[in-house]
Amino acid sequence: MKTIQEVFRDWEAVIGLEVHTELTTLKTKMFCDCPIDFGAPPNTHTCPVCLGLPGALPVPNRAAIESIVLAGLATNCDIEKRSMFYRKTYMYPDMPKNFQTTQGPIAFCMRGGLDLTVSGQGSDERIDVEHAEDGSYTTHIGITRIHMEEDAGKMIHVGGTDGRIAGASYSLVDYNRAGTPLIELVTEPDLRTPEEARRFMQKLRQIFLAIGISDCSMEEGSMRCDGNISLRRRGSTGFGTKTELKNMNSFKALHDGLAYEICRQAEVLEQGGVIYQETRHFEPATKRTIVMRTKETAEDYRLFPEPDLAPYDLSDEFIERVRAKLPELPDAKSARYQDEFGLAAADAETLAGDPAWARFFEDAAAGSGHAVRIANLMINELAGQLKGGDIATCKVAPASLAELADLVDGDAISGKQAKEVLAEMLETGDGPAAIVERRGMKQVSDAGELEAIVEQLIADNPDKVEAYRNGKKGLTGFFVGQAMKATKGQGNPKVISQIVTRYLEG
Ligand code: ADP
Ligand code: ZN
Ligand code: MG
């Protein structure tokens, strides 16, 4: 099979995403007042409505409608003041009603879009647009709609392999999740590379986290994504037949699945074959996609208006009340961090993209004067040391991290020492000053003391001094390293390096 770079010389990929997000931050289900609580024992949060018992009547959850309108406003959609619910026929034991309540041609949110800036890794996959000097480019991704629907229950197949239904001796079903509010966002076929798809999904996740409508966990399935993909010859404008990749549950799977599918389609087409409109499943282990089923059509679903729910009208007042709740979104936050605190774009984006990290950063940076160092410590040290732990509940307080940044910027301790101090802060919850004191950690910046050490090293290593003077400039590193060792890592590397260079050149 060709590589994606080879394929992209002749072919252009057309990609559209369908993203499902469970509104996990709500208290109750979409059409009944059963609590949303995924940890509860099976079938303890059910009622006649979410079990689809005869005569039960649904009532839409107002908070869920607020969430979808918030999502629409955050992604520049028009909010439809009148929309309706529909029944989508669907026979499977995880949906006791035998239909899913969803929306029809008009959804709560229509015609939105996001600007997507792609920089760094993968930006070279896109060859038909102008790139800035740093290799980045910006492209607009249209959002067709965001509609409201409900989740199904969960099936557990017992006795087979890997929890699959094939080979199982029986199946269990848990309806706790049945009826959980779900929003589905559908993009226009505007994405052109697997990297754009990944970045779009990341950006969407950051926005949904910022507006607080979901925990957006890809691993746990509260945010999941289907990718639609087709190829066309470069220069042509029509659309080819698409395949749909189901349920890619990580950013990497989304990227790799699309990349594989692009190469597979190119091979089929170049050998004179045809692409069938079908649903495929990506297997991360083998990095292949396999056929799940051929495409259902709208007729298969027999979509029709839900007779038990009146058309839903949204007042201007309701929409404006939701708009007032829009927080500062990640793009605006990132721009502000660059302006206000002088952060580099990449660091600003990283911190602004996660509400808990953004809050921590702002609390630490407020009035500190060492915001750049704080950002640096958070991204390069704290993130790694937390090992995926929650920054909001870790033992390091924002004010303590600001203190640590002061110590580093004031040359009181070295960067290497800061790493150790941070580890101890995380473990004990003590402030950095106490730890530095306790460990007798002072960075030695005293030129006289350091000079004596360097002088001794120069005297002890005449051969290396000679070699340096004959052009082996890399030997500076040897002397700096030895001097650091002699100070037990407490020497100020900047000062040592200056002294070493002076002696070697002298
Ligand atoms: P379907 O009727 O098969 O569900 P839709 O028109 O509803 O298709 O589109 C579903 C998703 O597929 C959308 O994200 C859309 O942008 C995308 N899409 C539509 N046509 C194509 C195509 N030819 N190639 C790639 N993606 C496409
Ligand atoms: Zn219920
Ligand atoms: Mg469709």
Q: Is 103 a residue whose pLDDT tops 70?
A: yes
Q: Are strands 223-233 and 181-187 parallel, antiparallel or unpaired?
A: unpaired
pLDDT category at 116 given cuts 50, 70, 90 is very high
Q: For residue 436, what pLDDT is reported? A: 87
Question: pLDDT grade, residue 298 (50/70/90)?
Answer: low
Q: How confident is the model at residue 297 (pLDDT cuts 50, 70, 90)?
A: low
Pocket of ligand 1, beta carbon within 6 A:
14-18, 186-189, 228-230, 239-240, 242
Percent of the chain surpassing pLDDT 70? 98
**Does 274 have pLDDT greater than 80?**
yes
Q: Which ligand is nearest to the CA of 226?
A: 1
Q: Do residues 216 and 3 touch, judged by C-beta distance below 8 A?
A: no
pLDDT higher than 80, residue 65: yes
| 134, 135, 197, 254, 422 from 360: Cα distances, Å | 30, 31, 29, 30, 15
Q: Is the pLDDT of residue 8 over 70?
A: yes
Higher pLDDT, 187 or 284: 187
Across 259-268, 408-417, 425-434, least confident range: 408-417
Nearest ligand, CA 245: 1
- Residue 311: what are its φ and ψ, rounded to 5°? -50, 145
Burial class for 238, CB neighbours closer than 10 Å (0-12, 13-18, 19+)? exposed
Please tell me the predicted confidence (pLDDT) of residue 296. Answer: 63
Give the Å distance between the CA of 40 and the centre of ligand 2: 14
What's the average model confidence in pLDDT over 88-112? 93
C-alpha Rg value of the chain to the nearest Å: 29
Question: Does the pLDDT of residue 243 top 90, yes or no?
Answer: yes
Ligand 2 centroid from CA 129, angstroms? 50
Q: What is the pLDDT of residue 490?
A: 76
Inform me whether the pLDDT recorded for 91 exceeds 90.
no
Residue-averaged pLDDT of the chain: 92
Choose the weakest-confidence range: 80-84, 352-356, 487-491: 487-491
φ, ψ (nearest 5 deg) of residue 354 = -130, 115
**What does the pLDDT read at residue 484?**
83
Q: What is the 3-state secondary structure (H, E, C) of 402-444?
A: HHHHHHHHCCCCCHHHHHHHHHHHHHHCCCHHHHHHHCCCCCE
Closest CA relative to residue 385, chosen from 401, 373, 406? 401
Give 158-215 pLDDT, tens digit per residue.
988 777 888 889 999 999 999 999 999 999 999 999 999 999 999 999 999 999 999 9
Q: Is the pLDDT of residue 112 over 80?
A: yes
Of 219, 221, 241, 238, nearest to 230 by C-alpha is 241
Which atom of ligand 1 is closest in space to residue 190's alpha carbon?
Answer: 16
Interacting residues of 303 by C-beta distance below 8 A, sequence separation 6+: 86, 87, 88, 89, 102, 104
- pLDDT for 130-162, tens place per residue? 999 988 999 999 999 999 999 999 999 998 877
Helix axes of 251-270 and 194-211: crossing angle, nearest 10 degrees: 150
pLDDT band at 437 (very low <50, low <70, confident <90, very high): confident
* Rounded distance from Cα 188 to ligand 3 centre (Å): 11
Q: Quick one: which atom of ligand 1 is closest to the CA of 230?
A: 24
31-34, long-range: CB < 8 A, 24+ apart: 31/58, 31/59, 31/60, 31/61, 31/101, 31/150, 31/179, 32/58, 32/59, 32/179, 34/179
Q: Whose CA is nearest to atom 7 of ligand 1?
A: 186
Distance CA(40)–CA(34), nearest Å, equals: 12
pLDDT at site 497: 87
For every residue of 85-144, DSSP letters joined together read EEEEE--STT-TTSEEEEE-SS-SEEEEEEEEEE-STTGGG--SS---TTS-EEEEEEEE
Q: What is the pLDDT of residue 447?
A: 76
Q: Tokens 């640096």 correspond to what residue?
A: 376
18 CA: nearest ligand 1 atom: 14
Q: What is the pLDDT, as a whole number, of residue 34?
A: 97
> Can you give the pTM of this predicted structure?
0.86
- Contact of 130 with 137, CB cutoff 8 Å: yes
Q: Which residues surround ligand 2, an ion (CB under 5 A)?
A: 32, 34, 47, 49-50
Q: State mean pLDDT over 291-318.
A: 84
List of domains in the chain: 4-316 (no CATH), 330-439 (no CATH), 447-505 (1.10.10.410)
Predicted confidence (pLDDT) at residue 506 exceeds the cutoff of 90: no
pLDDT band at 100 (very low <50, low <70, confident <90, very high): very high
